Amino acid sequence: MFRDVWLIAGKDLRIELRSRVGLNQIVPFAVTVLVLFAFALDTDQEALRTYAPGLFWVTVLLASLLAIGRSFAVDLADGAADRLLLSGIDPIAVFGGKAAAIAIQLVVLEVLLGAGVVLLFDVTVHRYGLLVCAGLAAAAGVATAGTLYGALVAGLGVRETLLPVLLLPVVAPVLIGATRAFQDAFGVAGAEGWAWLGLLAGFAAIYGVFGALSYGALLEEA
Amino acid sequence: MSTATTSSPANRAVVPATTSSRATRVLGWLTLAGFAVLVALAFAWVPEDTRITEQGDVVGQFDAVRLMFVHVPSAILAYTGFGLTFLASLAYLRWRTDWWDIMAHSSAEIGVVFGVLTLVTGSIWGRPTWQTWWEWGDVRLVTALVLVLVFIGYLAVRRIPADAAVKARRSAVIALVGAVNIVIVNRSVDWWENRTLHQESTLLARKIRDETLFTLSFSFAVGMALFAWLLLHRFRTAYLESQIEELEVQEALAERRAEADWADHERGQP
């Protein structure tokens, strides 16, 4: 089971490593969004520092739409999805593998964007443990919900526009929780960061279970 | 759905040309009459909301309180619609019949209409009483907004040109996930900022005048009649749409067959 999860995750990550779409397009896109936020908020360093947690997570969510869309576009090309189905791998493992691959890409993106926020928005980190845990839990939550919704819209002609409409309202709790946890970690607001971490973990767990259970039905007719 | 009745022109009359029936006409007129009575009650009978404080000042919501008779039933109808979509989606995944699929679609549409109406009337009501159109951090407001957004997404999926069975199954899963999501959103907004402006249910607290209570109860009854009327018509429209699709497929098949027969005839073969 876990071998199959890593098989699928490894496949998706190898494709990303070789095609470099993530590195060449999604990361530059995310950094550009950060720069746009700086323009939008004028050169007010204080405002940027205060709102850095929220801006960081909005950027991650926007970039995650691209990563999720990409993950399913790859599977649809050349009938790869059909062969994946014929391979006999348990749909739960396929779901886990795809979600893991997206989560790992998101974590890499978060590290790069985090460096960007520290450098560009002049943020100082007070609690590294909370920062790392919240980053991982939020990536897991966005990846599980994103994989479920990515599969839901895969193969429908208009998936590029449909995915944001469906996914963004659903990941709103992740934005709330992760922003609060980061506010605490950056020391810009006295939020109870560890309690919000619980919400993020719960979100990832709920969507992980829901996605794993319904994935088989969604793969069959895609 | 029967396919045998759709192929020959003589049987086309089997599909009715209207979505109304005697029952819906009666229901429609009753709803309209009820609405007229409701308007009269809400504007003429119910007194404006005023209280006199110990200092002798007159405070209250005055005429704005009459918005209650649109806002509260709208909210209840919106939640009824979404609840029905959830149940119908579950039933569809269990039994896989068109009936449940059409039911889920129809009730979701009505739910979104009343959900938007709830947000708009609530916003208009909030302006004079809370001095704001919108309050972020209010659990009920934000939950209702996200709920409407989730179901607008659901309706977007229903409008995609795709195989009917694929669309029905994915829509059902989206409705179920959306319902789960509403619980998460509600909890997270509650923890996020619990500075609610929205009052608790006045019905349960029994802090309400008799005239207002009667009119509010009456507005629920009118609302439910309206909901039933809309649902019946929407359901029948959706059913007819699916029948038309079936008919078109049958006709296209018949035309292709006729072309093939004509080609055979041209070549002199029977």
As given in the structure block, the two tokens for residue B227 are 């909901």
Q: pLDDT tens for residues B255-267?
A: 888 888 888 887 7
Give me the number of domains chain A comprises: 1
Range of the domain at B155: 67-196+223-245
Q: pLDDT tens for residues B174-227?
A: 998 888 888 887 777 777 665 556 666 655 555 667 778 888 889 999 999 999
A67 CB-near residues (< 8 Å, 6+ apart): A22, A26, A102, A105, A106, A109, A146
B1 touches B242 (CB < 8 A): yes
DSSP B15-82: S-S-S--HHHHHHHHHHHHHHHHHHHIIIIISPPEEEE-TTS-EEEEEGGGGGHHHHHHHHHHHHHHH
Nearest CA distance, B197 vs chain A (angstrom)? 20
Map chain A to HEC letters: CHHHHHHHHHHHHHHHHHHCHHHHHHHHHHHHHHHHHHHHCCCCHHHHHHHHHHHHHHHHHHHHHHHHHHHHHHHHHHHHHHHHHHCCCCHHHHHHHHHHHHHHHHHHHHHHHHHHHHHHCCCCCCCHHHHHHHHHHHHHHHHHHHHHHHHHHCCCCCHHHHHHHHHHHHCHHHHHHHHHHHHHHHCCCCCCHHHHHHHHHHHHHHHHHHHHHHHHHHHHCC
The question of ipTM being above 0.95 is answered as: no
Is the model's pLDDT at B57 over the cut of 80? no
Residue A213 has a pLDDT of 86
Range of the domain at A82: 2-220
B216 domain residue, yes or no: no
Is the model's pLDDT at B1 over the cut of 60? no
Residue of A nearest to B147 (CA): A169
Residue pointed to by tokens 């886990």: A96
Residue pointed to by tokens 């035309």: B255
Lowest-confidence segment of A63-67, A217-221, B153-157 by average pLDDT:
A217-221
| pLDDT averaged over every residue in chain B | 82
B23 domain residue, yes or no: no
B100 domain residue, yes or no: yes
Q: pLDDT tens for residues B63-76?
A: 777 888 889 899 99
Is the model's pLDDT at A97 over the cut of 90? yes
Give me the number of domains chain B comprises: 1
Residue B203 has a pLDDT of 56
Mean pLDDT along residues B122-129: 85
Which residues in B lie closer than 8 A to residue A162 (C-beta atoms)? Answer: 153, 156-157, 160
Residue A111 has a pLDDT of 94
Residue B204 has a pLDDT of 52
Judged by CB atoms closer than 8 Å, whether chains meet at B174 and A152 is answered as: yes
The model carries a pTM of 0.81
| pLDDT averaged over every residue in chain A | 87
Share of chain A above pLDDT 70, in %: 97
B157 domain residue, yes or no: yes
- Of the candidates A152, A177, A180, the beta carbon closest to that of B173 is on A152
- Of the candidates A157, A165, A199, the beta carbon closest to that of B156 is on A165
Q: CA-to-CA distance for B238 and B251, rounded, in angstroms?
A: 20
Q: CA-to-CA distance for A70 and A23, rounded, in angstroms?
A: 13
| Higher pLDDT among residues A186 and B229, named by residue | B229
Residue B246 has a pLDDT of 81
Most confident option among A171-180, B49-58, B132-141: A171-180
B3 domain residue, yes or no: no
Which residues in A lie closer than 8 A to residue B94 (C-beta atoms)? Answer: none
B7 domain residue, yes or no: no
As given in the structure block, the two tokens for residue B8 are 């020959």
How long, in residues, is chain A?
222
Chain mean position to CA B116: 10
Is the model's pLDDT at B77 over the cut of 90? yes
Q: pLDDT tens for residues A1-60?
A: 788 889 889 988 998 888 888 778 888 999 999 889 888 887 778 888 888 899 999 999
Which residues in B lie closer than 8 A to residue A155 (C-beta atoms)? Answer: 166
* Substitution target from A166, A179, A199, A221 for chain B, most B beta carbons within 10 A: A166
Identity of the residue numbered B230: L
B139 touches A180 (CB < 8 A): no
DSSP B126-138: HHHHHS-S--TT-
pLDDT band at A191; cut points 50, 70, 90: low
As given in the structure block, the two tokens for residue B19 are 């979505």
Is the model's pLDDT at B8 over the cut of 50? no
Backbone torsions φ then ψ of B206, nearest 5 degrees: 55, 40
Which residues in B lie closer than 8 A to residue A53 (C-beta atoms)? Answer: none
Is the model's pLDDT at A160 over the cut of 70? yes
Chain mean position to CA B101: 15
